[in-house]
Chain A
Amino acid sequence: MEDVLTENPPPSRFFQEDLNNFVPPPESIPSPFILFSNPKPELPLRPSLLIIAISSPSLYVSHNLPSKTLLGSLIMPEVPFSGNTIEPSLEDKSCNIYSLSSTDDKNSILLVSVQLPVSPERSNLVSRLLIGQDIIPERVIILDSIQSRNFRGRLSPDETLAAKLETSAEKKATSHLVNLDYFPSGSVIDGLSASLLSRCQLKNIRGTLVISWPEFGPSVIKFIGALLKKIVPSLDVASVNKDLEKNSSRTGLKKDTWLDSDLYT
């Protein structure tokens, strides 16, 4: 049980330093960048669909999708590579960009697996890299988890939930990629997924943010797999449902990973 004295305040409450003009600006860190594989693809990439996996269940599904081609990686200078493996692994701190397309329709469906911690302060830079510069998608799907700290309702640990938020361009389209209820008014989503959806709205791109609950577990993994299969019928999700029992515990759960210590890899 969290300590009521030391746990983070509810999100509408500020720490003194959040409201202080005289707190010095943070030290400047080099900007993130994308490193593309050889041969470098022709830029900008213009996929018809960009899928961005952020939540643990969506990363699990992404990792187990066969037939994906690694196109490149988004590098954040502040995130060390130590502990990463040569072959992509779920435990890596990486942000890989894959093509899911068949050979005759190259790079029309891209998948980004965001396995590294992106702080809210750096989200703007990352979202600009993924949408609108070297990658200009027609449609975007972002997969994240409902953040219990920002949710103004009740969340049961054994009930699978999902909702969506979408850009105006997606909302007024005649057909929608995702058929879910809207995220309730009064609750918010923050962090990288919020920054990505905002970027889509500002660029008038058809974007959908799917937020699911719980943050891990077989039921939500199956839900995400089924959702992606519906959006991209050619996707092979059969291997996703194997060995799901490994994900019934909190192992591999991404939780406030920008607070992780660099002492241990």
Chain B
Amino acid sequence: MEFVVEEGKLVNEDCSTLVLPALSIGNVGQLAVDLLVSSTGAERVGYLDDPNLLPCVGNDAYGPLPCGEIALPLEVYESSSIATTLAQQRSPVAKGMMIKFAENIANFAASSGKKHIIVLSSLDFQRLHNLDMSRGPQVYYLSNAESDGRDDHCERLGFGRLHEYDSEGRCWKYLSSVFEKNSVEELALPSEDELEDIDYYPSLPFAALFSAFKARGLKMTCLLCYCSEGDNIPEAFLLAEASSKLMGLTPDKFHGEGGKWQIPYSWKSMYGAPPDMSMF
């Protein structure tokens, strides 16, 4: 993975927090990062070029007008006012290459001096066994602060620990062994037939990213929410707000009009063209 600085831009080495999405149901992590980039006025400083990422290009996703600024598959933005780097991923990872991709991006984060990584991801609502709607939509977390995934700061913020995380579970152990270079234990990749329900969580991209960053010794927090496919804008707001709280920020500290969340321009056409009314 190569980091290419955009012509005329400088990287701010004080941006020690990296926020990035994990591919997940409803693209919630990516929508949340869109919202953060748009609302913080973060500026694009470069691109990450990785051979495991499928190609895509588009017009600028954030400006009020489609100004023709090219958008690439994996872009790096910085907001100096909140000392945060945001990476936005617009295309999938090639099938079977997620582990390699996670390793590459963890190497990038470590070599560029990042201290805290926040990964935003969604989980399939159909996998949620204990539904408790009394507290409203719930944000869950997974941290490497303690071996069971617990983190005091996240607990104080009211996030729910992901109880399905089991560091001794075979798939979680497999991920750890893959990324830790000094791992003595050689574990086999679980075959598709052997996978059970509990293996759903470590099979997801956020788990690969979590394990890869953890192996590099970086402080790591995954923020998660359950959702179904559909209009996932509410979930994007949920995760964007949660990550802001985790960083000790509120929208009034963002750059922007009145300190409010700014909807990215590209969201206007997220669900395609309006129906053809001429048929009625």
A interface list, Cβ under 8 A from B? 10, 12-14, 17-26, 120-121, 123-125, 127, 152-154, 165-169, 171, 182-195, 197-198, 201-202, 204, 209
A189-B273 in contact (CB<8A): no
Contact partners of A192 in chain B: CB under 8 A: 55
Q: A21-B175, A25-B100 are in contact. Are A166 and B59 (CB under 8 A)?
A: no
The number of chain B residues touching the other chain, given as a range, is 35 or more
Is residue B21 within 8 Å, beta carbon to beta carbon, of the partner chain?
A: no
Identify the 5 closest CB pairs spanning chains A and B, nearest first.
Answer: A186-B269, A195-B55, A152-B269, A185-B66, A25-B96
List CB contacts (< 8 Å) of B77-103 with chain A. 90-92, 94-100
A sample of 9 inter-chain contacts (CB < 8 A) reads: A19-B203, A20-B98, A20-B203, A23-B98, A184-B269, A188-B56, A188-B90, A192-B55, A194-B57
The majority secondary structure among interface residues of chain B is loop
Contact partners of A198 in chain B: CB under 8 A: 49, 55, 57, 72-73
A25 to B98 Cα, complex, angstroms: 9
CB distance from A27 to the nearest CB of B (A): 10
B189-A165 in contact (CB<8A): no
Contact partners of B49 in chain A: CB under 8 A: 198, 202
B92-A14 in contact (CB<8A): yes
A190 to B24 Cα, complex, angstroms: 19
A197 to B203 Cα, complex, angstroms: 33
Is residue B69 within 8 Å, beta carbon to beta carbon, of the partner chain?
A: yes
A24-B58 in contact (CB<8A): no
Q: A152-B269, A154-B273, A198-B73 are in contact. Are A23 and B59 (CB under 8 A)?
A: no
In the complex, the chain A residue whose C-beta lies closest to that of B25 is A14
B59-A183 in contact (CB<8A): yes
Q: A19-B23, A166-B68, A183-B59 are in contact. Are A190 and B91 (CB under 8 A)?
A: yes
In the complex, the chain A residue whose C-beta lies closest to that of B62 is A185
Is residue B41 within 8 Å, beta carbon to beta carbon, of the partner chain?
A: no
Residue of B24, B56, B66, B70 touching A19 (CB-CB under 8 A):
B24
A184-B66 in contact (CB<8A): yes
Is residue B198 within 8 Å, beta carbon to beta carbon, of the partner chain?
A: no
CB distance from B65 to the nearest CB of A (A): 8
List CB contacts (< 8 Å) of B18-61 with chain A. 23-25, 27, 47, 49, 51, 54-61
